[in-house]
């Protein structure tokens, strides 16, 4: 094939969230001499759309209210026309997996790739049936973000193991380098006193992320170490309920709801321990970023977390939905700073060895190359 290979990406929204940030990082890293990406956003754009356009990437927002309404039928022919002649179509998230696969096959795309970024919590039983009966038989590859997700996908109807490819998420370890983000100024920006310990949790404020468990654990932590503060980074539907829970638990002066931020590395630099209390996960970008910043982490042993965190070597793993075990693991790190430092250093080495942005981009590039030229 002469010239750059066109790759079309289909995604539902382009707000500031994990899959969308992953897509931005992927497109930043792809060699534009070899690949020519274009993005089709089904419902609405957002900050990531603006960033992608700033990279010189074509972004078209179809403006559907939902993929299950009448506007979806109106927009389908438009997407089919746009995808004609595109050798590889890569879809992200469950709605785009369904809608994008249908459009790509109608457009006679040479290869269709779907993505799986979690072990199934984002799909209700109806969507799982649709995906297994209508989507899976019509795709050439499914990209799983970690071995745990791959194992789950391989058990689905309509897929054979050889069509499931594991390409782990990657983090820009050069940008998330503790040397570039000094601790003292970072703590000053968060208003932390010199004698305060700082915990952090970073992610969308939704039930599966386990923030409520961490607040319960925080009661035990604060009882033993009163000069400890929890920084909650992120926003979402649970913000007000979590704020009310913190107040009811007597933690109003110990918990800071910082909202979403684009300066995650600066926040991480100020933290003593990063907590990932999720009930279920794919492969958490927040976890990788914390580890790249050499922060000691306590994560629940769900989804892809154990694929990244080597228990007691590059972090601590605890059972999900267990505030007592969560609190004890955090307290151990706060009370043993030497041990915490060793875990943080090992965490960064772990990311550098297997979870870099360059490695993630190279995995996708190799997949696109093989399918486009097959």
Task: With cut-offs at 50, 70 and 90, classify the pLDDT of residue 141.
Answer: very high
Q: What secondary structure, in 3-state letters, does 128-156 show?
A: HHHHHHHHHHHCCEEEECCHHHHHHHHCC
Task: With cut-offs at 50, 70 and 90, classify the pLDDT of residue 246.
Answer: very high
Residue 70 confidence (pLDDT) above 80: no
pLDDT tens per residue, range 289-322: 999 999 999 999 999 999 999 999 999 999 999 9
- Among 288, 306, 269, CA closest to 354: 288
pLDDT of residue 253: 95
Helix (H) or strand (E) holding 58: strand 58-61
Domains of the chain, earliest start first: 5-170+356-373 (3.40.50.2000), 178-354 (3.40.50.2000)
pLDDT of residue 71: 74
Please, are residues 230 and 218 in contact by the beta-carbon 8 Å criterion?
Answer: yes
Q: What would the two tokens of residue 297 be?
A: 């982490």
Residue 49: φ, ψ to 5° = -60, -45
Q: What would the two tokens of residue 101 be?
A: 């696969």
pLDDT of residue 145: 95
pLDDT of residue 3: 84
Positive or negative torsion for Cα 151, 156, 161, 167: negative
Q: Considering only 125-129, 151-155, 234-238, 339-343, which range has the smallest mean pLDDT? A: 125-129
Residue 136 to residue 119: CA distance in whole angstroms: 16
pLDDT of residue 75: 84
pLDDT tens per residue, range 5-61: 999 999 999 988 889 999 999 999 999 999 999 999 999 999 999 999 999 999 999
% of the chain beyond a pLDDT of 90: 84
% of the chain beyond a pLDDT of 70: 98
pLDDT of residue 294: 98
Positive or negative torsion for Cα 342, 348, 349, 354: positive
pLDDT of residue 2: 55
Task: With cut-offs at 50, 70 and 90, classify the pLDDT of residue 119.
Answer: confident
As a whole number, mean pLDDT of residues 96-112 equals 95
pLDDT tens per residue, range 165-188: 999 999 999 999 999 999 999 999
pLDDT of residue 1: 44
Higher pLDDT, 119 or 121: 119
pLDDT of residue 86: 95
pLDDT of residue 143: 97
As a whole number, mean pLDDT of residues 343-351 equals 98
pLDDT of residue 262: 83
For residues 44, 48, 49 and 51, what is the CA-based torsion angle, rounded to 10 degrees?
Answer: 160
pLDDT of residue 232: 98
């Amino acid at each position: 094939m002469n010239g750059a290979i066109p790759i079309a990406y289909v995604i539902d929204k382009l707000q500031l969230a994990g899959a969308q940030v992953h897509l931005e990082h992927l497109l930043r890293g792809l060699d534009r001499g070899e690949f020519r990406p274009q993005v089709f956003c089904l419902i609405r754009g957002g900050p990531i759309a603006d960033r992608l356009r700033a990279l010189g990437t074509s972004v078209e927002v179809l403006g559907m209210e939902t993929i299950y309404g009448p506007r979806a039928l109106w927009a389908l022919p438009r997407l089919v026309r746009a995808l004609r002649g595109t050798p590889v179509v890569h879809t992200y998230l469950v709605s785009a997996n369904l809608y994008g696969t249908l459009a790509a096959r109608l457009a006679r795309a040479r290869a269709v790739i779907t993505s799986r970024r979690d072990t199934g919590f984002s799909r209700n039983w109806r969507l799982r049936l649709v995906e297994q009966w209508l989507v899976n038989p019509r795709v050439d590859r499914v990209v799983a973000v970690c071995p745990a997700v791959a194992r789950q996908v391989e058990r689905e109807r309509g897929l054979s193991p050889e069509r499931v490819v594991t390409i782990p998420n990657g983090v820009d370890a050069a940008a998330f380098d503790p040397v570039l983000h000094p601790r003292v100024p970072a703590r000053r920006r968060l208003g932390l006193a010199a004698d305060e310990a700082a915990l952090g949790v970073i992610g969308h404020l939704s039930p599966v992320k386990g923030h409520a468990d961490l607040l319960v654990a925080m009661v035990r932590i604060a009882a033993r170490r009163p000069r400890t503060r929890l920084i909650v980074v992120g926003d979402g539907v649970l913000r007000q309920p979590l704020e009310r829970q913190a107040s009811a638990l007597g933690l109003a002066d110990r918990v800071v709801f910082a909202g979403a931020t684009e300066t995650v590395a600066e926040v991480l630099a100020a933290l003593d321990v990063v907590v990932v209390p999720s009930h279920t996960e794919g492969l958490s970008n927040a976890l990788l970023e914390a580890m790249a910043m050499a922060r000691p982490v306590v994560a629940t042993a769900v989804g892809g977390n154990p694929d990244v965190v080597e228990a007691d070597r590059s972090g601590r793993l605890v059972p999900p939905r267990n505030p007592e075990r969560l609190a004890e693991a955090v307290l151990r790190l706060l009370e043993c700073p030497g041990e915490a430092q060793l875990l943080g250093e090992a965490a960064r080495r772990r990311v550098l060895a297997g979870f870099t942005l360059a490695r993630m981009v190279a995995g996708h590039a190799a997949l696109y190359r093989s399918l486009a030229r097959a």
